[in-house]
Structure 1
Amino acid sequence: MTQLFVNDIEIALGDNFSFKQIDENPIITSVGEFTLDIVISIQTGQNAMAFGMIHRLNKRNIPAEWPAAMIVNNKVSHGKAIYISNTDTTVTIQYVSGNSELLYFANQDKKIWKMDWGIESAIDSARARQSIQQTGYETNGFHFVCAPVKLNDTIVNKFTLANETGTSIPSVAFPINGVDGQIIMMPYLLHYVEKMADMFGFTMKANVLLSNDRAKCTYLLNNFNSLAYANALPDMTLSEFIEIIEDEFNVIFLVDKTKQSLEIVYRHENISSRTTIQLNNVIDAYTRNVSEESDDKLSRFKVNKFSYELPDDLYYKYHRLDDYWDLRAIFIFQGDFATLLNFLTANPDAWYNKNGGFFDNQGNYYLYADKPSQEMFSRKITSSRSVYIFNKFRPAGFGNWDNELILKMIPPVIEKGSIQLNFHPGQPDLKQFEIHYQFPQSKYDLSDASAYETIPLADMIEQGVPNVTRKTDLETCIFMGEIKAFITPVTVDDVTFATYYPYSCNDIYPDFGIPPSSSEVTRFETWALSDFMNYVPGSYRLENIVNTYVLNSYFDTTKEYVMQMEDNPFLSTSFLFEINNAIYIPLRFERTISDKPEMVTGYFYKML
C-alpha cells in the first residue's frame, strides 16, 4: 500500500499509478530518498486543494515546494514535494526525504553570509573577559571568544600586560583593551553547526562534535566589527560549508526521514554500529566491477592522502613540504627531542646548515641551521644556532596521490612575540623578564560592518549597497583558554609565575622560541608539558586527522553486488545485511512504486 500526503492532504494517486523511488545510503553517497517525476491529476478536489489550486496561480506565485509525507509498505517518511511543472489538469513533482531533502535545501546556492545565524548582544570588556575564561563552545555558555587576533596589521582583542611593581603577577592583571572597535567576537564553529537544524526545519537529535575537543575549541577568524554571526562567514555556499565540516571531522549530517531530525555522526562509527539483518528472499544476483572514474561519491572512502589547501607564501613553504623533500634531505631519527638536543649539543658542527634534518618519535621534523627568514618554533643550541621545527602541515597518509583529500579549513599563520616586564621599576637592571605570547594572523583587513548595517533601506536602494570585501576561505584557529605564559629568564627567586594569557594555536607546540640557557630549555620543557600541552585540545596536524578516517578498511568499493528481491519493511539503507555468511552494506535500493506488487533492486558493497 502506498500513500502520498501533500500539505497534510492525502493525494488520490488514481488507478495504474507508477513512479520510481531511489533510496541511497547517505553515509556513502550523502544522498537520501528521492523519486523521479510523479505526475498527479489535479482534476480531483482534494488534489487541487493539496497544491493550492495551482492551475489558477500565476507562475511567479507557484511555491517551489510543499511539505509532504509518504507511506510505502507501512514505512513512513517525511520530506518535501518539489515542484517541476504543471498544466491545467496535472502537476509534476519530485519527492525528496531524509538527506535528499537536506541536499535540496543546501544546493540552492545560498550564500551562508546571507542567512540568519543570529545576532550577539553587546560585548563590553567584561563580557569579552568572561569569554576567554571559557575554553571552547558551550551550548548554554559563550558562542564566541574574544581571543587576540591580528587582522592584517590591526590587532583586535589586544591584551594589556601590566608592568607590575609587586613580586607576583596575578591573572587579573591582563584586562582586554576596551577601546571601541577593538573588541571583535570570534565565533565558535559549533555555533553555526548547532543552528543548522533549525534552518533546515529539523530538530537536532545528536551532535558528536559537541564532545570533540578540536571542534569545540575551533573558532573563525572574524574580520568584521559586527555582532551579526553571518558577517564572520566567508563568501561560500551552504553546501560548500557543510562539505568542509564533514571532510575536516569525517562526520555526516544525517537526517532521520521518519522524524525529520538531524544527527551529526562519525561515518566510521555509524557503519560499525549498524544492526545486521538476515536476507533470505534474493531472487536474482550478479556482480559488476566499478570503474575508478564512475562515481566520485566514494572518494571519501578511497582516500589515502591528506593535505591542506594552503597559500603559497613563505610561512607555509616551511610548513608544507611533501615527499620530494624527504628524498632530497637526509633525515635522522633521534628518539625523543631530549635525545636529539643532546646529540646536536655534543656535535655542534656536524649537521649545522647541512643537507640534513631530524625527526623525533612524535613525528616532529627539525632543521638545524641559521634562522630562516620566516620564524618558526625554535630551540637554541648555541647563541647563534637553533633547531627549528617545520613541516607542521606536511601532507599525510600513505600510497600514491590518486585519491587525495584536500582539507579547506585553513590553519592561519601564528605570530609570536614577547613583552618585557620590569618587576622593580626603581632598579631597572635588577629584574627584567619577557612574557612570550602568540596569536593567529589573518590576511584580511578589519572591516566595519556597522557602516552598512545601520544604513536606512531607502538610502541603500538609492545609493547602492556599500562595497564590502568578504573572505573567500574559512580561516580557523584553536582556542586553548587562558594558560600560564612562559616567562624568561628562569633565575627568579621572588616572582610567582602566575602570568596568564589567552592562547590560540594550530599545532601541539607553541610557536615562540626560547633563549640558549640550558636551564631555560629545561624550564621550557616543563612548562610546555604542564602548562601548554595539557590544554591543547587537538591538532591541525594531518597525522591526527588521518586517524579519524575510514579509508578502505570497512568495505570493498571495487565491486557492486546487485540483487533483486521481494520488497519488505526491512529493506532500508540503515541496516547491514547478511547473505550466504557474508555481510553487505547497501549503496541504494531502487523500487518502482505502483498499485501492483513490485520487485526491489539493491546495490551493495561487501564488508571487509
Structure 2
Amino acid sequence: MTQLIIDGHEAVLPQNFSTTVKRENSFFTKNGEYTYDCTLKLDNPVNCELYGFLQRLNKTEQIETRRTATLIADGHVYTRGTEIVTRWTEESVTIQIVSGESELNYFIGQDQKIEELDLGEIETIVSTISPTDSFPDVEFCLPTIRSQSGYVYNRYVRGHIMGGHRTGNTIIPGSDLRPQPYLCALLRRLMEALGYTVTENHLENTQFKNLFLVNTIFTTEYAKMLPGWTVKDFLTEVERLTGVVFVTDNLNKTCAILLKTQFYTNARQFTIRNVTDEYETEAQDDDSREAEFTTSDVSYDMPDSYWSKIVQLPEGYLEAADIEEFDFVDIVSAISDPKKVYKDRTTGRYYIKVSREYEVQHQDATATDTFCIELNQYGNLDRVNTDSTLELKIVPAPMAWLGMVGCEVVDIGTSDGYKSYGEESEQSEETTESEGAEGDIRSFEKKETAAIDLYCAFHNGSVLGNNTPVAYTDAYHALTQALLYPMIVDTILGPEGSLRLKDLDDGYYQGGYEIDTRHALTIETYDPNVIDPRQVYVIRNKRYVCKEVEEVITAEGRQNKWKGTFFHIHVSDESLENRWVLTHGVWDDHAVWLDDGRWNDDYDGAIV
C-alpha cells in the first residue's frame, strides 16, 4: 500500500498511480532524492480541497508552494521533502517531491546570489579584534590587505623603540578597516540563511579552519563580502578546493560538511541479494565524467598577471630552463646567477634571483634591490592517464613584501611581483577618501555583471614580534621569508597550512578510496530491502559503492524489481569495521553480531 502525505493530509491516489523515486549518493552527485512526476486526479473532494480547487479558471488565490510531502510504501518512507507543483489541468495536477540536495537546489535555484541573503553582520567593534585571535574565537581577522587600486587596508602603526625593543603595533581604526571573513564562519552563516544547521564540519579540524576570503569592500554584512557569487557556484568551489561534500538531512534540516576521504569511514556493509543475471557495465571516458580532484589534473584559474605567471609557470618553461640544484641552507650564496633556475634538493621548490630599481623616498636618487623569489609555487597538479582538468576558482591570494608593514601581505594589486616599496607616509587622509570610494565604486559596478575574483589566505593567530598579524598562503614559504628578505627583523610565529596543489593532494585529495568511476555497473535486483546509497554493498562477492537507486512506486507499493548503479571500490576491512568469526568451519561476514557471539550471514541487512 502506498500513501502520499501533503502538508499533513493524505492525498487520494488513482488506481493507476505510478512514479519513480530516485535516490543519489551525495558523494558523487548533487541531486539528492527526488521523484519523477506524480499525477493526482482532481475528481474527488479530498484532492480538490488539498489543492485549493486550482482547476477552476476563476481561482484568484496563489497556489501554496514549498509544502512538506512524504511518500510511503509498504511501511517504508521512500522520500520526505518538499512538494513542487509542475502543471495542472481541469482534471489533474502533477507534482514532484524533492529532498536532500535536490530540495536545497530547488530552494536556492541556479541564480540565488549570496549578497541577497541575510547572513548577519559583525556586531563587535572591528578594531578591538586582537591580532592573535583566530577562528573559532572570532569570525574574521584583520591582516593587512593591499587592494587592486594599490590602497592599503588594515594598516598598523609601528610601535616605538623602548629599552632596545619595539613595542607592539596597533591597528588604525576607521573606514580603512576591511574584515576578512573566515571560510568556516561564512559556511555556517550561509547554511543557516538557507534554513540548515551545520552539525558537523570536518574543515574545522583541518588547516582550512584558518582560511579566510579576501575582502576589500567597506561593509560589516557578511553577505556583501561575496558580491556576484551564487550559492551554487560558491559551495561547488568550496567542495573542489577543500575536498569536502555537503550532506543535507531534509527531515531535521541539518547539514554535515564531510571530507570525501572520510566519507566511508566506519560505513556499514550489506549484501545485495537476488540480483538478476542481466546487468550493464558502461565505460565512461574522461569527457563524459565530471572532473574531480582525485582523478583529474588540477589547476588554479589564476587571473592574468605577472604574479600569476611567477607562481604558475607557463607550460614547458621548466623543461627549457637551465636548472641547478642547491641546498636551502645555502640559499643566499647559492642563488647567484639571474639567468638560472635553482631547485632545492630537499623540497623540490624552484627559485630565481631578481633585481628591482626603485626611488629612494624623500631623496632624488634610485637604488637597486636584489632578492630571491620562489617559482611555480602554485603550479598545476598533473596526473597520468587522464584527459580531464579541474580548475579551481577560489585561488591563493597574491603576496608581496610591503615596506610599511615589514612582511609579506595579501596584495591583489601587485604588478611587479613580490615587492612593494611604498612608505606609510604616502597614504594620506585625502587619499583615503578618494581611493577608498573609488575602490568601492569599482567593486559595486563589477558585482552587477560577474562574481569578483575570490582570493583566499590563512591567518591562524600568528603575528610578527611587533604584533602585526601575518597572512600567508604557504606556511613553508612564510617561514623562509627571513632568509629570502633580510630586511625582516621579526620572526613569524608558527604558521601552518598550504594551498600548493601538491600539498593539498597529499593531505586532502589522496589517501581516501580507490573507486573505479570509469566503469559504472547497473544491476536489477529483487532484494526486498530499502538500501541507503551512502553505504558499502557486496554484489557477487565484490565490494561496491552506490551512485544511485531507482525504484518504481505504484498504488500497491514498491515494485519487486528495482535498479541501482554502482562503482567498484577497494577498501580495507578495518575501514568498514568488518569482523570475521569462524563458525562451524565457515567464515561468516557482512552481517550482525548475535547474542550467542556469532556472525550470521542469513541476516538480510535491511535498513529501516
Task: Identify the TM-score tier after normalising by the shorter chain.
Answer: 0.7 to 0.9
Counterparts of 1:546-557 in structure 2 under 5 Å? 546-547=505-506, 548-550=508-510, 554-557=514-517
Is it true that 1:149 corresponds to 2:145 in the alignment? yes
1:73 & 1:53 partners in 2: Cα distance?
30
Distance 1:571 1:400, change over 3 A: closer
Match of 1:111 in 2: 113
Preserved contact between residue 142 and residue 469 of structure 2 (Cα < 8 Å): no
Preserved contact between residue 462 and residue 495 of structure 2 (Cα < 8 Å): no
Is it true that 1:206 corresponds to 2:205 in the alignment? no
Q: Which runs of 5+ in 2 are unaligned?
A: 359-367, 415-434, 571-608
1:475 & 1:216 partners in 2: Cα distance?
16
Is it true that 1:406 corresponds to 2:400 in the alignment? no
Counterparts of 1:145-224 in structure 2 under 5 Å? 145-151=141-147, 152-171=149-168, 174-179=169-174, 181-213=175-207, 215-224=208-217
Counterparts of 1:336-351 in structure 2 under 5 Å? 336-338=327-329, 344=334
- Equivalent AA in structure 2 for residue 503 of structure 1: V
Is it true that 1:68 corresponds to 2:48 in the alignment? no
SS state at 1:392 partner: coil
Measured after TM superposition, the shift of residue 397 of structure 1 is 3.3
Measured after TM superposition, the shift of residue 234 of structure 1 is 2.8
Measured after TM superposition, the shift of residue 586 of structure 1 is 1.2
> What is the number of equivalent residue pairs in this alignment?
530
Q: 1:510 aligns with which of 478, 484, 503?
A: 478
Counterparts of 1:251-400 in structure 2 under 5 Å? 251-292=244-285, 295-297=288-290, 299-300=291-292, 303-334=295-326, 336-338=327-329, 344=334, 352-367=337-352, 369-371=353-355, 386-399=371-384
Match of 1:598 in 2: 560
- TM norm structure 1: 0.79
Measured after TM superposition, the shift of residue 370 of structure 1 is 3.6
Q: 1:97 aligns with which of 99, 102, 106?
A: 99
Range moving further from structure 2, 24-33 or 250-259: 250-259
Is it true that 1:474 corresponds to 2:454 in the alignment? yes
Preserved contact between residue 225 and residue 448 of structure 1 (Cα < 8 Å): no
- Equivalent AA in structure 1 for residue 117 of structure 2: M
Is it true that 1:436 corresponds to 2:406 in the alignment? yes
Match of 1:484 in 2: 464
Range moving further from structure 2, 578-587 or 245-254: 578-587
- Equivalent AA in structure 1 for residue 51 of structure 2: F
SS state at 1:239 partner: helix
Preserved contact between residue 161 and residue 167 of structure 2 (Cα < 8 Å): no
1:539 & 1:474 partners in 2: Cα distance?
17
Match of 1:541 in 2: 500
Distance 1:568 1:99, change over 3 A: farther
Preserved contact between residue 81 and residue 94 of structure 1 (Cα < 8 Å): yes
- Equivalent AA in structure 2 for residue 147 of structure 1: P
1:268 & 1:516 partners in 2: Cα distance?
36
Measured after TM superposition, the shift of residue 153 of structure 1 is 2.2
2:504 & 2:357 partners in 1: Cα distance?
29
1:325 & 1:362 partners in 2: Cα distance?
19
2:251 & 2:484 partners in 1: Cα distance?
64
Q: Which runs of 5+ in 1 are unaligned?
A: 375-382, 420-434, 452-465, 486-498
- Equivalent AA in structure 1 for residue 156 of structure 2: F
Is it true that 1:31 corresponds to 2:31 in the alignment? yes
2:515 & 2:163 partners in 1: Cα distance?
65
1:275 & 1:242 partners in 2: Cα distance?
28
Distance 1:247 1:259, change over 3 A: same
Match of 2:544 in 1: 584
Measured after TM superposition, the shift of residue 340 of structure 1 is 5.4
Preserved contact between residue 203 and residue 261 of structure 1 (Cα < 8 Å): yes
Distance 1:124 1:242, change over 3 A: closer
1:373 & 1:585 partners in 2: Cα distance?
60
Match of 2:585 in 1: none
Preserved contact between residue 139 and residue 181 of structure 2 (Cα < 8 Å): yes
Measured after TM superposition, the shift of residue 468 of structure 1 is 4.1
2:303 & 2:171 partners in 1: Cα distance?
31
Measured after TM superposition, the shift of residue 512 of structure 1 is 8.9
SS state at 1:79 partner: strand
Q: Deviations over 1:31-80 (max 9, x none)?
A: 21111111112333333343344335858823443222222443334211
SS state at 1:607 partner: strand
Q: Deviations over 1:227-286 (max 9, x none)?
A: 211111131211101101010111111123554421111112113432110122212332
Distance 1:386 1:415, change over 3 A: closer
Distance 1:236 1:50, change over 3 A: same
Preserved contact between residue 439 and residue 503 of structure 1 (Cα < 8 Å): yes
Is it true that 1:250 corresponds to 2:243 in the alignment? yes
- TM norm structure 2: 0.79
- Equivalent AA in structure 2 for residue 307 of structure 1: S
SS state at 1:28 partner: coil
Distance 1:308 1:193, change over 3 A: same
